[in-house]
Amino acid sequence: MHNNYYFLKRLTPVLSAKIRRAAISECFTQNKNELIIIFDNEFIIKAYLDPAFCCLSFPSTFHRARKNSVDLFTDIKSKAVQTITQFKNERCFSIEFDNGYRLLFKMHGNRSNLILFKKLKIIEVFRKSLKNDFDISLDTLDREIDQTFKGLEAARGAYAKLYPTFGPNLKQYLLHERYNEKTLEEQWKLLEKTVDLLKVSDFNISNSRDSISFSLLNIGTALETFTDPIAAITFFFNSKIQDEAFDKEKTKRLKLIDKALQRTKNYISSNTKKLESLKRGIDYSQIADIIMANLHLIPVGTKSIGLENFYDQNKKVSIRLNTTLSPQKNAENYYRKSKNQSVEMSVLKQNIELKNIRKRELQLQLDLVDTASSLKELRQIIKNEPEITKKEASKPYSEINCMGYQILVGKNANANDTILRSFTQKNDLWLHAKDVSGSHVIIKEIPGRNFPKPVIEKAAELAAYHSKKRNETTCPVIYTPRKYVRKRKGDPPGMVIIDKEQVILVRPKA
pLDDT of 221 reads 63
pLDDT of 87 reads 95
Q: Are 401 and 293 in contact (CB under 8 A)?
A: no
Better-predicted residue by pLDDT, 316 or 209:
316
Instruction: Assess whether 127 and 161 both reside in one domain.
Output: no
pLDDT of 458 reads 93
Instruction: Assess whether 82 and 154 both reside in one domain.
Output: no
CA distance 99 to 279: 89
- Residue 167 domain-assigned? yes
pLDDT of 232 reads 93
Instruction: Assess whether 477 and 418 both reside in one domain.
Output: yes
Banded model confidence at residue 246, pLDDT cuts 50, 70, 90: confident
What contacts 415, CB < 8 A, 6 or more positions away? Answer: 396, 397
CA distance 412 to 434: 17
* Count of Cβ atoms closer than 10 Å to residue 509 Cβ: 13
Question: Phi then psi for 302, rounded to 5 degrees?
Answer: -70, 135
pLDDT of 79 reads 94
Q: Read off the DSSP letter of residue 351.
A: H
Mean pLDDT for 23-27 is 95
Provide long-range contacts, Cβ within 8 A and 24+ apart, for 440-448.
Answer: 440/409, 440/410, 440/416, 440/494, 440/496, 441/407, 441/408, 441/409, 441/410, 441/466, 442/397, 442/407, 442/408, 442/482, 443/405, 443/406, 443/407, 444/405, 444/406, 444/407, 444/408, 446/404, 446/405
pLDDT of 58 reads 96
pLDDT of 480 reads 95
Dump pLDDT digits (tens) for 448-491: 889 999 999 999 999 999 999 998 999 999 999 999 999 888 88
- Residue 164 domain-assigned? yes
Q: Are 93 and 229 in contact (CB under 8 A)?
A: no
**What is the H or E stretch that residue 495 is in?**
none
**What is the H or E stretch that residue 377 is in?**
helix 375-384
Sheet holding 221-226, edge to edge: 211-215, 203-208, 221-226
pLDDT at residue 317 tops 50: yes
Mean pLDDT for 38-58 is 94
CA distance 193 to 168: 18
- Residue 238 domain-assigned? no
Instruction: Assess whether 263 and 386 both reside in one domain.
Output: yes
Total structural domains in the chain?
4
Q: Are β-strands 211-215 and 203-208 bridged in parallel, bridged antiparallel, or unpaired?
A: antiparallel
CATH number at residue 133: 2.30.310.10
pLDDT of 169 reads 79
Better-predicted residue by pLDDT, 357 or 478:
478
What range does the domain containing 305 cover? 254-390
pTM of this structure: 0.60
pLDDT at residue 109 tops 60: yes
Q: Is 389 exposed, middle or buried (0-12, 13-18, 19+ CB in 10 A)?
A: exposed
Instruction: Detail the DSSP E strand segments found in 364-447.
Output: 397-402, 405-410, 429-433, 441-443
Dump pLDDT digits (tens) for 247-283: 888 888 899 889 989 989 998 998 898 888 778 777 8
What contacts 426, CB < 8 A, 6 or more positions away? Answer: 481, 482, 483
Instruction: Assess whether 222 and 307 both reside in one domain.
Output: no
- Residue 43 domain-assigned? yes
CA distance 395 to 264: 13
Instruction: Assess whether 208 and 302 both reside in one domain.
Output: no
Banded model confidence at residue 390, pLDDT cuts 50, 70, 90: very low
3-state secondary structure of 386: coil
Banded model confidence at residue 391, pLDDT cuts 50, 70, 90: very low
pLDDT of 294 reads 92
- Residue 65 domain-assigned? yes
Instruction: Assess whether 266 and 373 both reside in one domain.
Output: yes
Dump pLDDT digits (tens) for 128-180: 999 999 999 999 999 999 999 999 999 999 999 999 888 887 888 898 889 99
pLDDT of 65 reads 85
Which residue, of 368, 390, 412, is where some domain finishes?
A: 390
Banded model confidence at residue 376, pLDDT cuts 50, 70, 90: confident
Mean pLDDT for 79-108 is 95
pLDDT of 396 reads 84
Instruction: Assess whether 385 and 432 both reside in one domain.
Output: no
Instruction: Assess whether 382 and 465 both reside in one domain.
Output: no
Banded model confidence at residue 209, pLDDT cuts 50, 70, 90: low
pLDDT of 10 reads 94
Instruction: Assess whether 403 and 495 both reside in one domain.
Output: yes
Question: In whole numbers, what is the pLDDT of the chain averaged over residues?
Answer: 89
- Residue 240 domain-assigned? no
